[in-house]
Amino acid sequence: MPQHSHDTQIDESQPQPLTKDPSCRRRSQRCHQAILSATIELLEEKGYSGVSVEAIAARAGVGKQTIYRWWTCKAGVIMEAYADYAAKSVPMPETGSVKEDLRQILHQLSTILTTTSTGAALAGLIAEAQANPEMADVFREKFVASRRAMTRTILERGIERGELRPDFNMDVAIDVTYGPVWYRLLIKHAPLDETFVEELVTMLMVWMQVQ
Amino acid sequence: MPQHSHDTQIDESQPQPLTKDPSCRRRSQRCHQAILSATIELLEEKGYSGVSVEAIAARAGVGKQTIYRWWTCKAGVIMEAYADYAAKSVPMPETGSVKEDLRQILHQLSTILTTTSTGAALAGLIAEAQANPEMADVFREKFVASRRAMTRTILERGIERGELRPDFNMDVAIDVTYGPVWYRLLIKHAPLDETFVEELVTMLMVWMQVQ
Amino acid sequence: MPQHSHDTQIDESQPQPLTKDPSCRRRSQRCHQAILSATIELLEEKGYSGVSVEAIAARAGVGKQTIYRWWTCKAGVIMEAYADYAAKSVPMPETGSVKEDLRQILHQLSTILTTTSTGAALAGLIAEAQANPEMADVFREKFVASRRAMTRTILERGIERGELRPDFNMDVAIDVTYGPVWYRLLIKHAPLDETFVEELVTMLMVWMQVQ
Amino acid sequence: MPQHSHDTQIDESQPQPLTKDPSCRRRSQRCHQAILSATIELLEEKGYSGVSVEAIAARAGVGKQTIYRWWTCKAGVIMEAYADYAAKSVPMPETGSVKEDLRQILHQLSTILTTTSTGAALAGLIAEAQANPEMADVFREKFVASRRAMTRTILERGIERGELRPDFNMDVAIDVTYGPVWYRLLIKHAPLDETFVEELVTMLMVWMQVQ
DNA sequence: AACTAACCGAGACGGTACGTCTCGTCTTCGC
DNA sequence: GCGAAGACGAGACGTACCGTCTCGGTTAGTT
């Protein structure tokens, strides 16, 4: 992960509606980090709805205003707290095989969603986004777009290599890749496990492969 | 009141954890209906987060206690208000073709989710369910289970008829059927339209058909 | 107490704003008595503010409507429940001495107020009456007027006998007789005991006696 | 703000169980005063029972929590709102005559109780105190104790000067001084007027004077 | 080295909604 | 047909957070 070292730069270099003051002349790294850590702790302990700005501030030993100075709302803080897991730690796989690439991506995604509090966080964020279009935009950009773009690249490369047929609908293919994962995450009717990922990838390949 | 026995049967025949007193000896049909109607009106006007128990009570001309007497929380009311759309109005298609059956089901689902306030309601409910496991159970039972069961039946019939191969994972197939729909509903990165349904059904058939 | 035997008749023969239907065509003696008993029990257990119409009904094994059928409010029930203690059980003393008559009256009053729940009841009723002029009227008539009238008679007899001088203000004398007792009952800054009654009677006699 | 320091001294110099946080690091004088004013307005308009915390907050243009931040209950607010009338405005009279001193005290008290809403307020507070021992303590301390102490001083000076005999019961004397006043205030069977005060003082002097 | 802007913690503020409570009235159903 | 049981409209209760706003007391980056 070569890009991992300049995290901070990535998080704050791009203007985001749910955070403030991108110029960010002076901000205490200590309290910035304390806020994000407190957020993750609270989310793990009490779930998404158990997180309140007041609780974050108290846990982080920070004034509420310090939070509102840099973020517009609770969701903004949570998004930033989970930005690492969900957005940056997605290495573009380069196995030469579409199936293996997809397998790696979905495996990594489902692992993060099930073994950390990221699943609860993102489910809550999706929930919030239903009531807040601006938040929905940021969520898509931050947590959805990069994975979709990466997957698109993988599929396009597969087509170029002749591994995949060129006439399937790319957007639908990506929806079929991620939709079932989010579905299991949110509805919780069945586990989001290795078997599931394997079946899903197999199914995708059947459809997209040259027949 | 000839419709009295009819209503009672529908509303109260199935025990619901988010409602109270299933024995339900006496309750005013007038205010029961007024509450559900007010809930739908408010959800259409202001979205899920704009609905509050206080607003429902005011709109329905009802005391707050009357709502809390029969439901444990806002989500319970909304679930019951949308139970008709989501659960009852699912006719089992009988076209003799799996593809056509699926097309009908997904068409009807996507139409309801996009042309009524049901989409917003269910998105909000899924959100709510993330923080409330009991609610999640009821949601699955009320809004997810019946459609999954129906789809399972359709696919099993397809296998019996030899239309589908018998060796695909049934649960994953159903996830792949509904996952992308919920995904587009919640993430809103692309429209949940006729073309999407068509592509999705085609993809599913390619995978499941005898090759 | 010769008049004690026709209690019921006394309570209901005179129209009272806080009770209903003075004609009293049909009323269950059983539940009437159960309500009054439950009221006294509750007042003894939880104090005036712990009494609610709902609690009385539950304790008496009676519907709320049965209470509201005969009384207009909680205070009406409590007044009737304590009517015996406070109004009827005041035997006119006939000792031939004003001082002894007053001593008996005040002794009996202070005993009732301190050894039964009557004190708490009347304190609460006075409180209620502050916010409800109609209740104040009934309270005065039921709990104050008869004692004042009796005391007036005693003092007038004392004047006739030449025991008391005839030129003191009768109303003020009665206020000075009862005011300090209520004052100690309500403010609770000092005990409402035998010594107090003795001092008070002595003081009154000094003032009113022929000097 | 020249009156700033003045207010603070008066409002917060004495610890009060029905108010919170006596240290009181920062509080808005504006809203503190607005709350007390709104309380008095409402009490004058609607009487004691017509005052609710919600109404006070609305009238004062203040959040409910701002009231609950500083007081534990409605009665605490009302007590503080009337503390001025009842506690501060009691000048120790120094006429050299016990009778004149008592006359002044009782005149001032009866005037306040009958010409302002203070009578209604205190009657309501006494009522409230019947159900709440802690409130009763504060009430005694705030509205009763100072007048009793002052009266005691007056009577003791009278004894020293030889104006009064030294062998009457001081506590009973004070009860006889104030009891009849509260009695007329609460029972309202007769006016709390100048004539009454005059008769009462006369009576007291007859009893206490050297004979 | 002093100045000065800003950030910092703390938490009060006006609000909104929560879920509970009790009032006094109205309705149903069983005895 | 009476009466227990309790649903109903109303509205206050006291709590939890929201997002904004002061308040002094540090910092940190000029000057």
How far CA D35 is from CA of C51, D8, D13, D31, D123, in Å, comes to 31, 15, 19, 6, 20
Same domain, D48 and D20: yes
Collapsing DSSP states into helix, strand and coil, what is residue D126? helix
Taking CA atoms, what residue in C is nearest to D181?
Answer: C179
Beta-carbon separation of B180 and A176 below 8 A: yes
How many other β-carbons are positioned within 10 Å of the β-carbon of residue C146? 15
Across residues B89-105, what is the average pLDDT?
90
Report the mean per-residue pLDDT for chain A: 86
How many other β-carbons are positioned within 10 Å of the β-carbon of residue B25? 5
Collapsing DSSP states into helix, strand and coil, what is residue A26? coil
Give the phi and the psi of residue D112 in degrees, each rounded to 5: -60, -45
Residue B64's pLDDT is 97
Residue C45's pLDDT is 86
Point out the domain boundary residue: B81, B107, B126: B81
Same domain, D196 and D149: yes
Residue A17's pLDDT is 60
pLDDT band at A134 (very low <50, low <70, confident <90, very high): confident
Q: What one-letter code names the amino acid at D41?
A: E
Where is A56: in which H helix or E strand? helix A53-60
Beta-carbon separation of A131 and B48 below 8 A: yes
Same domain, C42 and C96: no
How many other β-carbons are positioned within 10 Å of the β-carbon of residue D96? 11
How far CA C164 is from CA of C147, C190, D101, in Å, comes to 19, 30, 28
Query: Encoding tokens for residue D82?
Result: 């009337």
Q: Which residues in window 19-78 of D are less than 7 A from strand E by Cβ?
A: 21, 25-28, 31-32, 34, 60-66, 69-70
No. of H helices and E strands in chain B? 11, 0
B92 and B150 Cβ atoms separated by less than 8 Å: yes
Residue C17's pLDDT is 58
Beta-carbon separation of B176 and A136 below 8 A: no
pLDDT in tens, A8-67: 333 333 334 677 655 555 567 888 899 999 999 999 999 888 899 999 999 999 999 999
Query: Encoding tokens for residue D73?
Result: 């209950």
**% of residues, chain D, pLDDT over 70:** 86
Across residues A80-100, what is the average pLDDT?
83
How many other β-carbons are positioned within 10 Å of the β-carbon of residue D7? 13
pLDDT at residue A110 is higher than 70: yes
- CA dist A133 and A140 (Å) reads 10
Q: Which residues of chain C have pLDDT under 50?
A: 1-16, 22, 24-25
Amino acid C65 CA to nucleotide F4 C1' distance, rounded Å: 9
pLDDT in tens, D104-153: 999 999 999 999 899 889 988 988 888 788 889 999 998 999 999 999 99
Beta-carbon separation of B47 and A175 below 8 A: no
pLDDT band at D40 (very low <50, low <70, confident <90, very high): very high
- CA dist B211 and A147 (Å) reads 31
Point out the domain boundary residue: C59, C80, C101: C80
* CA-based nearest residue to A80, from A155, A24, A17: A17
pLDDT at residue A92 is higher than 80: yes
CA D28 to chain centre: 25
A203 touches B at CB < 8 Å: yes
pLDDT band at D7 (very low <50, low <70, confident <90, very high): very low
pLDDT in tens, D172-209: 999 999 999 999 999 999 999 999 999 999 999 988 88
Which residues are A19's β-sheet partners?
A71
A113 touches B at CB < 8 Å: no
Beta-carbon separation of D168 and C196 below 8 A: no
Whether D and A touch, i.e. at least 3 CB pairs below 8 A, reads as no
Which residues are C71's β-sheet partners?
C19
- CA dist D39 and C51 (Å) reads 27
- CA dist D56 and D77 (Å) reads 9
Positive/negative CA dihedral, B44, B48, B50, B51: positive
Query: Encoding tokens for residue C46?
Result: 């939880």
What residues contact residue C81 under an 8 Å CB cut-off, 6+ apart? Answer: C36, C39, C40, C43, C121
Please give the tally of structural domains in chain A: 2
Query: Encoding tokens for residue D205?
Result: 């002097």
Q: Which residues in window 25-54 of C are less than 7 A from strand E by Cβ?
A: 52-54
Beta-carbon separation of D176 and C179 below 8 A: yes
Query: Encoding tokens for residue A93?
Result: 């796989």
- Identify nearest nucleotide to residue D29 by CA to C1′ distance: E12
B73 CB contact with strand E at below 7 Å: yes
Phi-psi region of C99 (alpha: psi -120 to 50; beta: other; left: phi over 0): alpha
Same domain, B60 and B148: no
| CATH code, A49 | 1.10.10.60
Same domain, C107 and C75: no
* CA-based nearest residue to C127, from C70, C49, C179, C64: C49
pLDDT band at B57 (very low <50, low <70, confident <90, very high): very high
Nucleotides of chain F within 7 Å of a protein C-beta?
2-23, 28-29
How far CA A154 is from CA of A97, A112, A148, A158, in Å, comes to 9, 21, 10, 6
Give the phi and the psi of residue D209 in degrees, each rounded to 5: -70, 155
Residue A89's pLDDT is 66
Which residues are D3's β-sheet partners?
none
How many other β-carbons are positioned within 10 Å of the β-carbon of residue D132? 16
**C48 secondary structure, DSSP code:** G
**% of residues, chain B, pLDDT over 90:** 66
Q: Which among C50, C183, C206 has CB closest to D182? A: C183
Across residues A87-116, what is the average pLDDT?
89
**Residue C85 is assigned to a structural domain of this protein:** no
D43 and D112 Cβ atoms separated by less than 8 Å: no
Minimum mean pLDDT among A21-30, A65-74, A137-146, D52-61: which range?
A21-30
Query: Encoding tokens for residue B195?
Result: 């073309």
C64 CB contact with strand E at below 7 Å: yes
Upper half-sphere CA count for residue D38 (Cβ side, 13 Å): 23
What residues contact residue D128 under an 8 Å CB cut-off, 6+ apart? Answer: C127, D75, D135
CB pairs under 8 A between C and D: 133
pLDDT band at A177 (very low <50, low <70, confident <90, very high): very high
Same domain, C201 and C105: yes
pLDDT band at A181 (very low <50, low <70, confident <90, very high): very high
**Residue A85 is assigned to a structural domain of this protein:** no
A149 touches B at CB < 8 Å: no
Report the mean per-residue pLDDT for chain B: 86
Point out the domain boundary residue: A27, A59, A80: A80
The chains found to touch D (3+ Cβ pairs under 8 angstroms) are C
pLDDT band at B63 (very low <50, low <70, confident <90, very high): very high
**B51 secondary structure, DSSP code:** -
**Residue A133 is assigned to a structural domain of this protein:** yes
A189 CB contact with strand E at below 7 Å: no
- CA dist B121 and C127 (Å) reads 50
Residue D49's pLDDT is 87
Same domain, D192 and D137: yes
How far CA B43 is from CA of B35, B87, B121, B129, C76, in Å, comes to 12, 18, 7, 17, 46
Same domain, D53 and D141: no
pLDDT at residue B33 is higher than 90: yes
A10 touches B at CB < 8 Å: no
Query: Encoding tokens for residue D83?
Result: 């503390």
Same domain, C138 and C187: yes
| CATH code, C7 | 1.10.357.10
Same domain, B149 and B179: yes
For tokens 């009862």, name the residue.
C178
A113 and A160 Cβ atoms separated by less than 8 Å: no
Which residues are B19's β-sheet partners?
B71
Q: Give A120's contacts in chain B (Cβ within 8 Å).
A: 130
Same domain, C110 and C199: yes
Domain residue limits at C131: 90-208
- CA dist B105 and B155 (Å) reads 12
Give the phi and the psi of residue C28 in degrees, each rounded to 5: -70, 115
Q: Is B30 exposed, middle or buried (0-12, 13-18, 19+ CB in 10 A)?
A: exposed
Same domain, A126 and A176: yes
- CA dist B57 and C46 (Å) reads 33
